[in-house]
Amino acid sequence: MHDDYPPFHLFGATFASDAEAERYAFEQWEPEPSSSATDVEYSAWEDRNPTWRLAEELEFYMDSDFVELLGGVADVVTQIRTPHDAARISAESTGFTHFIVVMANADAIWADRRATSAQVKPVVRAPESTATVTYLGRFN
């Protein structure tokens, strides 16, 4: 059976532009070094890439395939199963320019960067607000 309303975590944020929101919500890569780069230069590039502010601020290891950036609250409410939750988000989220959806499954958030090595998996800590995003809750 296909579920039209999969569970997800929702974050609201205010960004100056769609480009700024994308730089925050998704992995960013520097251009790959040229073929003339030394092994040391290439290794340093690999160590620096990718950067991903969302995952870094949330302090989770995540898979970017399970992250979606939405531009407005109207797009968000269509993904929420219960009318009560949809109405609450619609009423409480008017100040945000963008919304970030992170699917709530073991593939999306697969380990906790804060945990000790023995506690990394399974993830037991819920996402929370950061300096950039406001955690609005888990839905569906």
Q: For 45-92, write each residue's pLDDT tens digit.
A: 999 999 999 999 999 989 999 999 998 899 999 999 999 999 999 998
What pLDDT, on the 0 to 100 scale, is given for residue 110? 85
- Number of domains observed in the structure of the chain: 1
Amino acid occupying residue 138: R
- Residue 98 in any domain: the answer is yes
Whether 123 is in a domain gets the answer yes
User: Does residue 2 lie within any of the structural domains?
Assistant: no
3-state secondary structure of 91: helix
Strands 98-103 and 109-112: unpaired
How far is the C-alpha of 52 from the C-alpha of 38, rounded, in Å? 25
The per-residue pLDDT for 81 is: 93
* pLDDT the model gives residue 117: 65
Confidence of residue 120 (pLDDT cuts 50, 70, 90): low
Rounded CA separation 66/110 (Å): 11
**Among the listed residues 122, 21, 135, the one whose alpha carbon sits nearest the alpha carbon of residue 70:** 21
Tell me the residue range of the domain where 115 lies: 8-139
Q: In this structure, is residue 50 part of a structural domain?
A: yes
In a domain, 96, yes or no: yes
In a domain, 1, yes or no: no
Asked if 63 and 76 touch (Cβ cutoff 8 Å), the reply is: no
Residue 135 covered by a domain: yes
